């Protein structure tokens, strides 16, 4: 838990239970809520289903876009589509305005 | 997956990647920002207005390319970009000098003179393909420099399918500010697909890519290849290309320039090259130092190994291509073609395609089709034959209840007499017909048999055989359908239709039988079965995407396939075979993966009669906990009642008797029991079958690289 500080009661409880030697590994793995299998078009969670995926997707969509984008599913901010999010600043509210991209 | 990274290292790597890519692309930033955003609306506006694709329509708020400055701006910054890339040899050892300018020819212009000199100095005679299209020389040679012998950099060392070339041309429009009219783009893609295309066998392996299938498998492919390339796109994309070794290496450089995070998402290998380090027992500064050391360490990534292998497996020059390139010609397709096929959820497809030539490799088409025994409908369209064997077309119809537009991707057979592929439509190309077309010639041909599943035993069962050129004088003795099947009568309805009457012996072996007529063999099969033993839901795992507000949904279709237990007499084993598609009643049930799982209430609805699933609307659903999307995982249940013969009981004792001798015990006489069963009276019973498939309902895709527009060209 070197890199994380508990800030609420639940987190402090978790921190107290954590074995200091093994540390907290959960966040070292795939960001929780992302797909682990990306056979293109078949993005699913580690169990092959949808339960582990972040939902509603609109809430975190621009995280995929800015940081860990998948060019197969979400446009990338870095090179190809830097203005993708311009027409919809808050995806969770204006999600119907999100642009679709057909390169 | 190679996501596993220590938090500190992850952040540092992310920062490093971003920094690297920021420097690498800084120069291009100006030129890409405007031109980067292409919507289909815009593309179609261009198509209709005939304006150059890089020019945005006034209605597009996001597109404001600084066209006048764009070509000049990157020139100065390209050199520092290459300089910056050099200190990180691990990211692109072989391609570092050309990263990313190699794929950003505009950016490379600044150092063009030096670069050309260097390239020419080091150049061994590199075997490549001549570029002879004047339009390419005019439009592309500004960046793709002349290597002599009519070779242009990069282009001369690649071969691709029409779709893969289209992606490349689109990227040049989007990112390099190339100015092309739709007609010019069409001409360039046509030339490249023809003269720098794949040989037929090569294209066949990548057909699922251009057929835009939702259901395919790459399970057989090399694991490293799947992990390195298949994380983001189909391997079909890889199989659609042939390159020489240098070009395969540059592919990695291109990816890193455009998608730097691919390095640890896919290229580096398991653990992103950071496996086996005890980050937890290090201090933050130690971890960062270790991370830096690892990062700058020169080592071969998984991607390098994969690319080395691809250079051997998918090289620029192959015997097949050598053969094809000198034998290539315009294969005439005009004439009539018999169509057979299947559409999931609707049934078998029968019909005729009339093809008329309108120009070199260009045709108009008229399909007369009957789907699932329904009345015939006519679809008209046009198509192009690329490279002498790759058909791409589009058909339209105004018939009620039919898809107004279908795209076509077909592959011509080696003998030029068969076209096979898929007609498809839908927002995600998810609706499709698998078809096989046989050229109608003066020779007799057997195309298909209607309702070809025949019970054992049968007597006086009528089979309608479709084909072409059946002679006026024919007899039952001219037809054969293998062991156990006796053809008692043959009636010629017309030259494309013969009606056979057959008996099937009670002792006939189960399975498929080839039907032949005199010396004509054909692919048509009679399927013999004694009983229907279970029902399979196809596809076993379906995929749909919510939609309707932001983007239309991806629907899914299911069908119930009656199965026979196969030779081993055990259910659900590999030798079980499909008898026929049967009508079923369809419902959705919960696939419970958590407490109070409620997906089935939200994901959408299945048509009880047709098995067609329509997902619910996209967007957050306030009625769901956390305003979750209407996504989820459910069972798709098929229920049907069928009258079928009771499964003969012979098998089980025989099986046991066979199994026992392994234990060294009695080799009981199974022979004595067999005849008994054969003599037993046949009972037809009505059985209820119930079978499950699974369905994933997912979120929409926000980007679709495969929205091919060759049909609009």
The distance of A84 to chain B (nearest Cα, Å) reads: 7
The predicted-structure confidence for B208-246, as pLDDT tens digits, reads as follows 999 998 888 888 888 899 888 888 888 999 999 999 999
Indicate whether A37 belongs to any domain: yes
Compute and round to an integer the Cα radius of gyration of chain A. Answer: 17
| Counted domains in chain A | 1
A-chain residue closest to B22, CA distance: A78
Q: Across residues B400-412, what is the average pLDDT?
A: 93
> Is there a contact between A103 and B8 if contact means CB atoms under 8 Å apart?
no
Sign of the dihedral through C-alpha B150, B308, B202, B173: negative
Residue A67 C-alpha, separation from nearest chain B C-alpha, in angstroms: 8
pLDDT in tens, B268-320: 876 656 667 787 788 888 888 888 887 777 667 889 999 999 999 999 999 99
For the stretch B399-438, what's the b/e string if a residue is b when 16 or more beta carbons lie within 10 angstroms of its beta carbon? eeebbeebbbbbbbbeeeebbbbbbbbbbbbbbbbbbbbb
Q: How far is CA B680 from CA B507, B672, B675, B677, B683, in A?
A: 12, 14, 9, 5, 9
**For residue B68, what pLDDT is reported?**
36
Q: What pLDDT is attached to residue B271? A: 60
What are the distances in angstroms from CA A62 to CA A43, A77, A92, B143?
17, 9, 10, 34
Of B54 and B209, more confident? B209
CB proximity A94 to B under 8 Å: no
B286: part of which helix (H) or strand (E)?
helix B284-296
Is there a domain that residue A52 lies in?
yes
| A42 contacts B232 by C-beta, under 8 angstroms | no
B517 phi and psi, to 5 degrees? Answer: -130, 115
A78 with B43: Cβ contact below 8 A:
no
If you average pLDDT over residues B22-30, what whole number do you get?
30
- Give the separation between CA B155 and CA B9, rounded to whole angstroms: 39
> Most A CBs within 10 Å: which of B36, B211, B214, B622, as the mutation test of the A interface?
B36
pLDDT tens digits for range B148-193: 889 999 999 999 999 999 999 988 988 888 999 999 999 999 999 9
Active centre residues of A (catalytic): 60
Average pLDDT over residues B662-687: 59
- Is A69's Cβ below 8 Å from some Cβ in B? yes
CA distances, B238 to each of B148, B202, B206, B233, B420 (Å): 28, 11, 8, 9, 22
Give the mean model confidence (pLDDT) for residues B438-467: 92
CATH class of the region B445-529: mainly beta
Spatial separation of the C-alpha atoms in residues B377 and B383, rounded to whole Å: 19
Taking an 8 Å cut-off on Cβ atoms, the answer to whether A30 and B593 are in contact is no
Interface size between A and B, measured as CB pairs under 8 A: 184
B234 touches chain A (CB under 8 A): yes
B577's enclosing H/E stretch is strand B577-582
Nearest to A76 among B171, B259, B631 (CB): B259
Nearest CA in chain B to A86: B62
Among B64-68, B175-179, B416-420, B611-615, the minimum mean pLDDT is found in: B64-68
In a domain? residue A4 = no
Helix or strand holding residue B692 (H, E): strand B684-698
Q: What pLDDT, on the 0 to 100 scale, is given for residue B219?
A: 83
Instruction: Report yes or no: A44 at the B interface, CB cutoff 8 Å.
Output: yes
Instruction: Flag whether pLDDT at A54 surpasses 70.
Output: yes
Q: Which range among B1-5, B147-151, B519-523, B612-616 shows the weakest confidence by mean pLDDT?
A: B1-5
CB A74 within 8 A of CB A80: no
Residue B266 DSSP label = I
Range name among A96-100, B15-19, B517-521, B646-650 with the lowest pLDDT average:
B15-19
Q: Is the separation of the CB atoms in B365 and B382 below 8 Å?
A: yes
Q: Match 């860990």 to its residue by tokens.
A: A68
- What is the C-alpha separation between B189 and B409, in angstroms, rounded? 16
Q: Test B550 with A98 for CB contact under 8 angstroms.
A: yes
| pLDDT at res. A14 | 78
The mean per-residue pLDDT over the stretch A54-74 comes to 79
Q: What is residue B304's three-state secondary structure?
A: helix
Indicate whether A93 belongs to any domain: no
C-alpha B481/C-alpha B471 separation (Å) is: 19
Helix, strand, or coil here: B632? strand
Residues contacting A85, CB < 8 A, separation 6+: A62, A65, A77, A91
What phi-psi label fits residue B101: left (phi over 0), alpha (psi between -120 and 50 degrees) or beta?
A: alpha
- What pLDDT does B575 receive? 93
| In contact, B558 and B344? CB cutoff 8 Å | yes
Cα separation of B128 and B244, whole Å?
Answer: 8
Average pLDDT on A86-90 reads 83
B468 with B445: CB under 8 angstroms?
yes
Which ranges in chain B are annotated with CATH 2.60.40.10?
Answer: 445-529, 534-646+682-712
Quote the pLDDT of residue A31: 58
- Which pLDDT score is estimated for A101? 83
Question: What SS3 class is residue B502?
Answer: strand
Token pair, residue B672, equals 């004595």
Q: B411: left (phi > 0), else alpha (psi -120 to 50), else beta?
A: beta
Q: Could you tell me if residue B665 is left (phi over 0), alpha (psi between -120 and 50 degrees) or otherwise beta?
A: beta
Q: How confident is the model at residue B63 (pLDDT cuts 50, 70, 90)?
A: very low
Token look-up 């990647």 returns B17
Which chain B residues are Cβ-neighbours of A27 within 8 angstroms?
A: 7
Residue A84 makes CB contacts below 8 A (sequence gap 6+) with: A65, A75, A77, A99, A101, B37
Task: Flag if A79 and B25 touch (Cβ within 8 Å).
Answer: yes
Checking if the pLDDT of B664 tops 50, the result is no
Write down the mean pLDDT value for chain B. Answer: 80
d(CA B623, CA A56): 12
Q: Is the minimum CB–CB distance between A103 and chain B shorter than 8 Å?
A: yes
Distance CA B373, CA B343 (A): 12
A59 interfacial to chain B (CB closer than 8 Å): yes
* C-beta neighbour count of B148 within 10 angstroms: 8
B430 contacts in chain A (CB < 8 Å): none
Question: How far is A47 from chain B, CA to nearest CA, in Å?
Answer: 10
| Residue A13, min C-alpha distance to chain B (Å) | 21
What is the Cα–Cα distance from B485 to B34, expressed in whole angstroms? 70
Hey, which CATH number is domain B534-646+682-712, 1.10.150.120, 1.50.10.10, 2.60.40.10, 2.102.10.10? 2.60.40.10
pLDDT digit string (tens) for B286-299?
A: 888 888 887 777 66
Give span(s): CATH 2.40.128.120, chain B: 335-439
| CATH class in words for B335-439 | mainly beta
Residues 306-345 of B with CB under 8 A from A: none
Cβ proximity of B636 and B536 under 8 Å: no
Chain B residue closest in CA terms to A4? B7
Residue B695 has pLDDT above 50, yes or no: yes
How far is the alpha carbon of B11 from chain A, nearest alpha carbon, in Å? 11
Burial of residue A29, with CB atoms counted within 10 A of its CB: 0-12 exposed, 13-18 middle, 19 or more buried: middle
Sign of CA dihedral B45, B50, B53, B54: negative
Residue B211 contacts A, CB cutoff 8 Å: no
Rounded mean pLDDT of chain A?
A: 76
- Whole-angstrom distance, CA of residue B208 vs CA of residue B453: 28
The minimal CB distance from B633 to the residues A29, A50, A76 is found for A50
Smallest Cβ–Cβ distance between B37 and the set A23, A69, A84 belongs to A84
Put simply, whether B174 touches A (Cβ < 8 Å) is: yes
User: How far is it, in rounded angstroms, from Cα B162 to Cα B408?
Assistant: 13
Identify the residue whose tokens are 């074995």.
A19
Cross-chain Cβ contact B231/A23 below 8 Å: no
Tell me the two tokens of residue A59: 């809430």
> Domain containing A69: what range?
26-83
pLDDT at B510 over 50: yes
How far is Cα B211 from Cα B220, in angstroms, rounded to an integer? 19
Q: Is residue A43 in some structural domain?
A: yes
Cross-chain CB nearest to B38 (options A22, A76, A102) = A102
Residue B30 has pLDDT above 80, yes or no: no
- Give the per-residue pLDDT at B231: 80
Mean per-residue pLDDT, B489-504? 95
Contact A55, B629 (CB under 8 A): yes
Q: What is the pLDDT of residue A46?
A: 76
According to DSSP, the β-strands at B377-386 and B485-494 are unpaired
Residue B118: count of CB within 10 angstroms of its CB: 12
């Amino acid at each position: 838990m070197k890199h994380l500080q508990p800030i609420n009661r639940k987190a402090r409880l978790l921190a107290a239970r954590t074995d200091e030697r093994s540390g907290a590994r959960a966040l070292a793995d795939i960001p929780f809520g992302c797909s682990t299998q990306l056979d293109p078009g078949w993005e699913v969670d580690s169990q092959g289903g949808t339960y582990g995926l972040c939902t509603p997707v609109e809430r975190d969509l621009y995280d995929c876009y800015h940081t860990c984008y998948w060019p197969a599913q979400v446009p990338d901010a870095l090179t190809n589509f830097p203005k993708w999010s311009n027409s919809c600043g808050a995806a969770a509210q204006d999600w119907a305005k999100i642009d679709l991209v057909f390169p | 997956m190679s996501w596993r990274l220590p938090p500190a290292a992850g952040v540092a790597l992310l920062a490093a990647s971003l920094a690297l890519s920021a420097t690498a692309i800084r120069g291009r930033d100006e030129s890409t920002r405007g031109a980067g955003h292409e919507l289909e609306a815009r593309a179609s506006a261009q198509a209709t207005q005939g304006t150059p694709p890089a020019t945005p329509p006034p209605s597009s708020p996001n597109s404001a390319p600084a066209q006048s400055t764009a070509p000049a701006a990157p020139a100065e910054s390209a050199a520092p970009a290459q300089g910056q890339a050099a200190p990180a040899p691990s990211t692109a050892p072989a391609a570092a000098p050309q990263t990313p300018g190699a794929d950003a020819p505009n950016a490379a212009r600044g150092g063009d003179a030096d670069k050309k000199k260097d390239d020419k100095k080091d150049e061994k005679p590199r075997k490549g393909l001549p570029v002879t299209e004047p339009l390419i020389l005019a439009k592309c040679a500004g960046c793709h420099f002349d290597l002599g012998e009519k070779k242009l950099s990069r282009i001369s060392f690649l071969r691709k399918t029409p779709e893969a070339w289209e992606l490349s041309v689109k990227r040049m429009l989007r990112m390099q500010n190339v100015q092309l009219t739709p007609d010019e783009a069409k001409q360039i893609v046509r030339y490249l697909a023809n003269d720098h295309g794949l040989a037929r066998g090569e294209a066949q392996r990548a057909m699922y890519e251009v057929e835009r299938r939702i259901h395919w498998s790459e399970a057989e492919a090399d694991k490293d290849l799947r992990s390195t390339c298949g994380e983001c796109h189909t391997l079909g994309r890889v199989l659609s290309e042939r390159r020489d070794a240098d070009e395969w290496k540059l592919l990695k450089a291109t990816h890193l320039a455009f998608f730097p995070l691919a390095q640890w998402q896919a290229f580096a290998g398991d653990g992103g090259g950071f496996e086996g380090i005890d980050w937890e027992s290090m201090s933050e500064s130690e971890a960062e130092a270790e991370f830096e050391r690892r990062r700058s360490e020169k080592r071969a990534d998984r991607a390098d190994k994969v690319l080395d292998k691809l250079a051997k497996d998918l090289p620029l020059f192959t015997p097949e291509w050598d053969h094809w390139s000198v034998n290539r010609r315009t294969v005439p397709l005009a004439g009539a073609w018999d169509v057979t096929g299947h559409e999931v959820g609707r049934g078998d497809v029968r019909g005729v395609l009339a093809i008329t030539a309108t120009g070199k490799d260009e045709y108009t088409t008229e399909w007369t089709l009957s789907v699932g025994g329904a009345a015939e409908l006519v679809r008209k369209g046009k198509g192009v034959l690329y490279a002498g064997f790759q058909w791409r077309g589009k058909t339209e119809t105004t018939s009620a209840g039919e898809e107004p537009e279908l795209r076509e991707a077909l592959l011509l057979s080696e003998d030029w007499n068969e076209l096979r592929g898929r007609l498809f439509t839908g927002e995600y190309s998810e609706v499709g017909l698998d078809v096989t077309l046989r050229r109608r010639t003066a020779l007799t041909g057997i195309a298909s048999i209607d309702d070809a599943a025949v019970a054992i035993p049968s007597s006086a069962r009528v089979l309608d055989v479709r084909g072409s050129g059946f002679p006026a004088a024919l007899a039952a003795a001219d037809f054969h359908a293998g062991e156990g099947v006796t053809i008692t009568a043959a009636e010629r309805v017309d030259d494309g239709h013969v009606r056979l009457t057959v008996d099937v012996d009670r002792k006939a072996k189960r399975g498929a039988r080839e039907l032949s007529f005199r010396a004509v063999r054909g692919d048509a099969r009679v399927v013999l079965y004694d009983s229907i033993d279970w029902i399979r839901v196809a596809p076993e795992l379906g995929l749909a995407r919510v939609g309707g507000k932001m983007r239309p949904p991806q629907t899914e279709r299911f069908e119930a396939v009656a199965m026979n237990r196969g030779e081993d007499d055990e259910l659900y084993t590999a030798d079980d075979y499909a008898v026929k598609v049967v009508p079923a009643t369809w419902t959705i049930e919960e696939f419970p993966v958590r407490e109070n799982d409620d997906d089935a209430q939200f994901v959408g609805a299945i048509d009880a009669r047709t098995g067609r699933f329509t997902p619910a609307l996209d967007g957050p659903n306030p009625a769901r906990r956390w305003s979750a999307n209407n996504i989820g995982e459910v069972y798709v249940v098929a229920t049907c009642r069928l009258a079928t013969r009771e499964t003969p009981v012979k098998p089980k004792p025989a099986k046991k008797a066979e199994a026992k001798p392994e234990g060294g015990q009695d080799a009981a006489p199974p022979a004595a029991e067999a005849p008994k069963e054969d003599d037993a009276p046949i009972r037809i019973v009505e059985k209820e079958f119930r079978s499950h498939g699974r369905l994933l309902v997912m979120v929409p895709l926000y980007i679709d690289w495969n929205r091919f527009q060759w049909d609009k060209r």
